[in-house]
Structure 1
Amino acid sequence: MTRYLAVVERGYRGSVETQFADVLYLVRELNRQLGGLDLSLRGLAVTYAVDAGPVGPAAGVDTLPDPRASLRTLLAEGVAVSVADADLDAAGVPGDVPLLPGVVRGAARWSDYRAVWFL
């Protein structure tokens, strides 16, 4: 099976604006439609992969997406998720901080993919 790679770099795009369809929802749908998609988290988006508690509600809005819950769903659906150590370091995430189970440390090799998309 030929796989595709989605790269997400921006870890925050506005809460209320993305409450109905955030970027990880798009990754989930592309994975379903294409029959396989891998995800590379870069920039501040690497914080999605940190094994921490759920994101709490903001100022009376309780329909906001939880990126860690979305990432757990993607992992359960077979999406391979990678994070580069350099981006973890740049975001201030120490090397001993646990990542969500299934997330791989290390940069994805773009040459392994049929196409690479920045979302």
Structure 2
Amino acid sequence: MTAASATLLVVERAHRGAVETQFSDELYFAHALHRQCGGLDVLLRGPAAGYALDTDPVPAPTGVQGAALPLADPRRSLRTLLADGAGVWVERADLAAFGAGAPTRLMPGVRMVTGEDEAPDWSAYDRIWFF
């Protein structure tokens, strides 16, 4: 747990990147909660573990008029959370779906959970939310 965090957000489902959601994704929302609630930590599991991989931004598709469509980018939102001091963990077992080299491609600041002793202490949080 980071010093000021009272909330742990467990993200297990990955966002599909649909045009309908445009700029907002669950981690964009989490950033707003982090600022308003005085701190928030994130545990990425399941398909959402891929958010922790350090990759290039996803190119925006063009719309009918040729303008770029603003799509949600959970990795951009995760970088913002990290820059604002949120604690971020990812489950190593869930990274397996992204290839053998995935654990070496984590964003700086993301901590990998390989055993219970490395995971955030759930009892230390006032609230635990699941997405």
TM-score, normalised with respect to structure 2 = 0.80
Matched residue, 1:97: 104
Correspondence list, 1:8-87, <5 A: 8-58=11-61, 60=63, 61-87=68-94
Unaligned segments of structure 1, at least 5 residues: none
- TM-score, with structure 1 as normaliser: 0.87
Q: Which runs of 4+ in 1 moved over 6 A?
A: none
Q: Which of 1, 6, 25 is equivalent to 2:9?
A: 6
Structure 2 unpaired stretches of 5+: 114-118
The structural deviation recorded for 1:20 is 3.7
Aligned residues: 119
Return closer, same or farther for 1:109/1:17 CA change in 2, 3 Å cut-off.
farther
Sequence identity of aligned pairs in percent? 51
Larger Rg: 2
CA contact (8 A) 1:88 1:94 kept: no
